[in-house]
A and B are shown apart, each in its own frame.
Chain A
Amino acid sequence: MILSSIVFLPLLFALIIAVWPKASTIRHLALGFSVIEFLLSLSIFKQFDPSSSGLQMVEKFMWIERFGIQYFMGIDGISLWLVLLTTFLTPIIILGSWTAITERVKGFHVALFILQTAMLGTFLAMDAIFFYVFWELSLVPMYFMVGIWGGARRLYATVKFFIYTMAGSVLMLVAIIYMMYLTQEATGHMSASLLDFYKLKIPFVGGTFFSLQTLLFFAFALAFAVKVPVFPLHTWLPDAHVEAPTPGSVILAGVMLKMGTYGFMRWVIPLFPEAAEYWAWLFMLIGVVGIIYGALVAMVQPDVKKLVAYSSVSHMGYILLGLFAFNAYGMAGGLYQMLNHGISTGALFILIGMIYERTHSREISKYGGLAGVLPIFTIFFFIITLSSIAVPLTNGFVGEFFILLGTYKAQPVFAYFAVSGVVLGAVYMLWMFKRVFFGEKGELVKDEHHPLHDLSAREIAVLVPMVIMVFWMGLFPNHFLNYSKASIDYLVNNRSNYNLTIVNPGETPVQHAQGGN
């Protein structure tokens, strides 16, 4: 029952907060709840078997029998770290938004916890319709978060975000229903279980767009590509990021974008192996274009939040590149980069939020010489900047290195171009850093009437865990990758006949029992 409690506990928290009578203690309550949730999610490790590539801690009940739709949750090495990323970021977001969210505090935390349920459910659901419910549900709280607590153009941004992602995912629903009928043809009874979908052999014809597997592939890929977002479909992201309040940006960049890349790993690649292989060039191409385009556009942004938003487009391009390299380096790098991006971009948004609270401006040109005034802030910002541009010893380096290695092995041409993104990333981040923190003091920094205060103890408490993670993940990647290795290797080696087995907790899976003897 541990996965169900992890997914639905936040919903219960949301209900408690909704009826909580004392407005002054809501933040403390929410913080406590989110820490409980994080500790609970840590308890997954007690049962999780890192040597197994199967689906663990499975919970499976029939939900809608007529259509074979199940309440079906399970965890493996691919979803494990994304779940932990979600539960890790939530307390940080709540503590980070302590003074940023001043209006409708109750509603904000209710939305946050509902969103947490939706995101965790997306990562853990193993039934297509069950997954789709969480997938779409996650739009609603995010929509309110941007729309109510966002910036000046929040209404435009939030409606655009909602419509864009919704439009991307409706064709996926059609494809899911179609695949349910395919399972009926294949096995005699309809099922929406992902495991049954994996067993389908969907006919593939190369060279034409109108072959069944290709069409289904694109119906799914479109939904995830909008969410990631990949290059031509990314335009909702800068708008949503810039207008979202700090915690909204952190969740959006930290977790919600990963729902897209996770979808590629869990759904698109194993479900449609031939089509994915055939069209890999396209996705690697838009990955590379995204890397370079995102970096170039980020370079010229006058608004530091928009700069980070475009850097997300660039970073997500790396992840896509890694996933479609179809080798262990690329996949592992892609998965690792998802976590890195969640930590470093999340931290960047938190830092930007902190400075915004002080000056109410994000114009790079109005800053300058901040290092002399806010030394502690500068140190934190510098560390996270290094992580974002993938300097060795930080987490970003491991991910990007693996991705580039994997890409080079698979398609060297794309690697040549992708490497330029590393340089460009350093250019836009460091140039921004220079303009904000060094040089002449900007108009906001030297403003005598509003002297800037350095970070408070609370703000340091928000940032320290992120910085620890940056170095931990940078120095000891195996601490993390060991848990995912079995799943990734299995995915890479058995892409064309991917088939997850259900491993019950406490039970040693058959193949490993033999190895042990």
Chain B
Amino acid sequence: MNSTIGLSDILLISPMIALFLASLIPITAKVLRGNREQHPVVTLSQALIGIVIAIGLLIVFGGAGKTAFNNGLIFDGVTQWMGVIALAAAGAAMIMMYENPSTTGKQFSELIFLAMSSAIGMLILVSAVDLLMVFIGLETMSLALYLMIAMSHEEKLSKEAALKYFVLGSFASAVFLYGVAFIFGSTGGTNILAFMENAAELVQSSRLFLFGITFVILGFCFKVSIAPFHAWTPDVYQGAPTPHTAFMATAVKTVSFAAFLRVIATKSLIGSDHLFDILQWLAVITMIVGNTAAIIQNNLKRMIAYSSVAHSGYLLIGIITAGVSDNGAFGASGVIFYLLSYSLMTLGAFAVASMLERSENHIVNIEDLAGFARQRPMLALCLTVFLLSLAGIPPTMGFFGKFYLFNAAIGEGLLWLAIWGMISSVIGVYYYLRPIVVMYMKEGNAEVAGHSLNATTVTAVVMALAIVVMGFVSGPIFSAVEKSLF
């Protein structure tokens, strides 16, 4: 085995190196200043500069399917798009962390260090093409995240959330690793590209391999909260500080789906009808469970958490489409575009939720939004855009995301999945309308928190504009995504 590390390897992983170096700056500065926090603006800008550089490096050096570290990492279109989406989402979430009462303050440097470390894990995950690399990425990302949630200033729910997430997350990682072991045992390797070449035959001929790949898929299903493995999602999303929730719901979900896509999109589903059936049912159950459970929620964050479960179901349709298709690029680019739109709208919705929190223990219920449209017409309009986009109302980006996803599914003959998706998105409309009803049509005096939240406001407004504008130019974006794959 040739294991020399060349310059090209270093260049390819330069985004991760940049992130790592940038993550060290704030925490080193804190140490050098005798454990005194530098101004949070400085910390934040150091992190954001690091993210921007990483995005730049990823775009410049990545792409074209180059592999690094003995075929352990691959840098193709999926890596680039998913990596950029995840990093940008992580950056936006950090802006929210800077201003949210439960995350800003005396341990901000440590928090940013952890968030950046988690981002490194994300980059590993989107580029990993070896199941062990996937595991390393998953764990790097998740371990930092467990800590981030636990160190919230909020007293009770966030600790519960961290513990829950840690226990269940570790369990899922173990399941994943167990599956990897079986795959290694039956194929003699863990490189996705290598064993997926003949996965279609292997799932039929080798029980062990089928067992292994099922466990790997289950591990992913947990991470991207596919029902019935979603039970942690509402509790953790609700308990975690809002910026962290945004971080998990967008960046973490994007990269988990990227790795999921890599495993599935290599035609493993063609061989096994059972696996294919099971995934279809999981998608249907996820959409129904997510959407119906969201209806009865009163807590805004919990509602968005269930909505995020439902969106995982839609995305799973895209993953399945990519898995059964001869040309996976269409389905895969549907997934990528959907993740882009989903990340924008979910980040925006959480940004507005974050602004409503007056203190670290403040719980925002949907009814608390009453009168928000009168007090803050701009922010109410932004939240309306996010919710309508999540509901898939044209001409927002969310509609086109669904359109591309379901279009690909229908093109592959998965008509009934698309119909399920459409029906459950109608159920979704009901709860997405509720906050709008409360904001605009009920009297009250909802107000954003007293302290200045300018950066978060800007983030929300930018997201809303992006959703509207990118709805109109979604065609070229989608084509660009599709061209960059394969």
Contact = CB atoms under 8 A, between A and B. Distances in A.
Interface stretch (A61-69, A311-319, A368-376, A377-385): A61-69
Contacts of B393: 136-137, 139-140
Contacts of A166: 426, 429
Interface string A149-178: 000001100110011001100110110011
Contact of B403 (A129, A144, A155, A159): A129
A498 interface: no
A67 B334 CA distance: 13
A201 B154 CA distance: 63
B411 interface: yes
B440 interface: yes
A67 B408 CA distance: 11
A181 B411 contact: yes
Interface stretch (B143-151, B259-267, B415-423, B455-463): B415-423
B475 A173 contact: no
Contacts of B479: 65-66
A158 B440 CA distance: 12
Contacts, number: 77
Given A137-B393, A177-B407, A162 B475 contact: no
Contacts of A139: 393
Contact of B440 (A132, A147, A159, A167): A147
A148 B440 contact: yes
A15 to B, nearest CB: 12
A174 B430 contact: no
B433 interface: yes
Interface in A51-83: 63-67, 69
Contacts of A159: 430, 433, 437
B429 A178 contact: no
Nearest to A168: B426
Interface in B342-371: none
B441 interface: yes
A66 B388 contact: no
A177 B408 CA distance: 9
A455 to B, nearest CB: 31
Contacts of B410: 174, 177-178, 181
Contacts of B407: 67, 177, 180
Nearest to A66: B479
Contact of A66 (B422, B429, B430, B478): B478
A147 B478 contact: no
B441 A66 contact: no
Contacts of A16: none
A158 B438 CA distance: 13
B425 A136 contact: no
Q: Considering residues A67, A136, A140, A174, which has the most beta carbons from chain B within 10 angstroms of its beta carbon? A: A174
Contacts of A174: 406, 410, 415, 418-419, 422
A464 interface: no
Nearest to A134: B394
A147 B440 CA distance: 8
B65 interface: no
Contact of A143 (B415, B433, B482): B433
A64 B430 contact: no
Nearest to A67: B407
A178 B426 contact: no
B474 A137 contact: no
A137 B399 CA distance: 11
Interface in B372-406: 388, 393-395, 399, 403, 406
Given A66-B478, A144-B440, 7 more contacts: A69-B475, A136-B394, A147-B440, A163-B426, A166-B429, A174-B406, A174-B422
Q: Lowest 6 CB-CB distances: which A-B pairs, in order? A: A64-B475, A170-B422, A133-B394, A147-B441, A167-B426, A133-B395
Interface of A: 63-67, 69, 129, 132-133, 136-137, 139-140, 143-144, 147-148, 154-155, 158-159, 162-163, 166-167, 170-171, 173-174, 177-178, 180-181
